[in-house]
């Protein structure tokens, strides 16, 4: 990160105060944005929630809502200049980052900073930074922007491999190839999201994967206890904290997250995804400069949630200690669609066990096959017990959906 930017940020943080007219613009209003909106409201900020559809989760708990595509540079710049927010906090990847760079030059506070947002939303940029500049261990990979390049790449990267759009999130557009493809042209044509470029990665035979929530704040760096998680089609299914590992592996995880977050700079929380191999070695996978979906478990597993930590870091509020509160697990509530009316039943029965909780995000519709509509949390004597409790919560809930 530019040293002058670091100095400016440190000076800003030292002078920071909170007033009742301070405002934050959330660029993205999903469940993570909802958690952030609630955390910002704890300190009395005026919250503007932005997204490309109405009644998004964060809009339901914010002061104002703005409905527009954040890929529309004209509208994004116009809204920022009209509102003049004290903080601009991205929550999604679908943002015109050129506008963020422009606004940052005009003196607006983009968190953690425009460069970090731009690099982490682009698999080309973040992988080149991690592998080539920072020399972090990663899976084998190459990039393709045309059908011809994809054909060459599939001869370089051994199967099985995974193909991901350079610009996407939550597993959208990803495809695993376990056997050779007879008709690559058909594969390419059937995946429109690939046409802006893809990364082809050799599938890693890892032992497990973890998220390391890493907070850069005015007093230094705070790394939370590892969060284990499982995914399906690139989307979070279950997470648990802490995920136990050897001292040596934990130290390597901490080394990697320190290196990459120091390079990206700024203040706020980063969700760093890592693969841990069977021999205990660690590979960098991805990073988000914001709260992470697997980190929602911190609502029950820590004294300060990932949302509280992000907001404290942004506002320059001290983070004296992050306490992990024992074995905890979370699991996504997935509802099949399409639908736009929902009825959640038997919640009382589902939450009859001690140390259980359910958050329903308030999403208004499902336009595709399925959507994450909530998350269940539980504490237990062990991680295994906590996992069993969240399974029972979701087994007991009956969801009716209608069009």
Catalytic residues: 169, 171, 273, 286, 293-294, 372
CA nearest to 153, candidates 194, 103, 98: 194
Tell me how far apart the alpha carbons of residues 333 and 350 are, in angstroms, rounded to a whole number.
Answer: 13
Determine contact, residues 48/24, Cβ cutoff 8 Å. Answer: yes
Distance between CA atoms of residues 49 and 181, nearest Å: 44
CA angle at 348 for the pair 342 and 389, rounded to the nearest 5°: 100
Neighbour-count burial for 71-104, b at 16+ CB within 10 Å, e otherwise? eeeebbbebbeebebbbbbbbbbbbbbebbbbbb
Tokens matching residue 50: 């932005």
Report the C-alpha gap between 232 and 280 in whole angstroms.
23
Tokens coding 211: 């998220």
The pair of three-digit structure tokens given for residue 179, joined into one six-digit string? 């056997």
The two beta strands, 64-67 and 46-51, are parallel
Name the helix (H) or strand (E) containing 281.
none
In angstroms, rounded to a whole number, what is the distance separating the alpha carbons of residues 90 and 32? 10
Q: Which tokens in the block code for residue 335?
A: 């509802």
**Which residues, listed in sequence order, are joined to residue 67 by a DSSP beta bridge?**
51
- Collect all residues with Cβ–Cβ distance below 8 Å to 348 and sequence separation of at least 6: none
Output the DSSP codes for 97-150. HHHHHHHHHTT--BSS-HHHHHHHT-HHHHHHIIIIIS------EEEESSHHHH
Of the CA atoms within 13 Å of residue 401, those in its CB half-sphere come to: 18
Alpha carbons 71 and 116: distance in angstroms, whole number: 17
Q: State the residue for tokens 């509020």.
A: 317
């Amino acid at each position: 990160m530019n040293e002058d930017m670091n100095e400016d940020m440190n000076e800003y943080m030292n002078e920071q105060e909170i007033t009742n007219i301070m405002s934050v613009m959330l660029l993205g209003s999903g469940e993570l944005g909802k958690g952030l909106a609630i955390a910002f409201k704890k300190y009395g900020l005026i919250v503007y929630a932005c997204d490309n559809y109405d009644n998004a989760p964060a809009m339901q708990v914010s002061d104002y809502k703005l409905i527009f595509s954040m890929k529309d540079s004209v509208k994004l710049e116009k809204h920022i200049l009209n509102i003049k927010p004290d903080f601009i906090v991205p929550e999604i990847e679908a943002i015109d980052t050129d506008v963020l760079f422009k606004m940052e030059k005009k003196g607006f506070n983009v968190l953690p900073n425009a460069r970090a947002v731009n690099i982490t939303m682009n698999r080309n940029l973040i992988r080149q930074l991690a592998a080539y500049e920072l020399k972090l261990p990663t899976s084998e990979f190459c990039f393709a922007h045309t059908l011809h390049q994809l054909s060459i790449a599939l001869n370089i990267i051994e199967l099985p491999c995974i193909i991901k759009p350079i610009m996407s999130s939550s597993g959208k557009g990803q495809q695993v190839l376990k056997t050779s493809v007879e008709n690559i042209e058909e594969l390419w044509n059937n995946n429109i999201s690939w046409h802006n470029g893809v990364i082809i990665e050799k599938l890693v035979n890892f032992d497990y994967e973890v998220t390391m929530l890493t907070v850069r704040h005015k007093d230094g760096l705070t790394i939370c206890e590892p969060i284990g998680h499982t995914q399906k089609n690139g989307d979070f299914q279950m997470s648990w904290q802490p995920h136990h590992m050897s001292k040596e592996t934990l130290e390597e995880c901490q080394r990697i997250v320190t290196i990459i977050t120091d390079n990206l700079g700024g203040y706020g929380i980063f969700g760093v995804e890592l693969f841990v191999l069977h021999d205990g070695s660690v590979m960098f996978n991805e990073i988000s400069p914001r709260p992470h979906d697997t980190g929602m478990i911190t609502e029950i597993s820590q004294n300060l949630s990932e949302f509280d930590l992000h907001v404290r870091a942004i506002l320059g509020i001290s983070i004296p200690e992050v306490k992990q509160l024992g074995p905890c697990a979370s699991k996504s509530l997935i509802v099949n669609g399409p639908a736009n009316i929902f009825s959640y039943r038997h919640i009382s029965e589902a939450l009859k066990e001690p140390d259980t909780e359910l958050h329903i995000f308030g999403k208004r519709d499902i336009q595709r096959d399925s959507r994450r509509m909530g998350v269940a949390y539980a504490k237990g004597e062990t991680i295994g017990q906590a996992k069993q409790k969240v399974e029972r919560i979701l087994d007991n809930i009956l969801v009716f959906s209608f069009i």
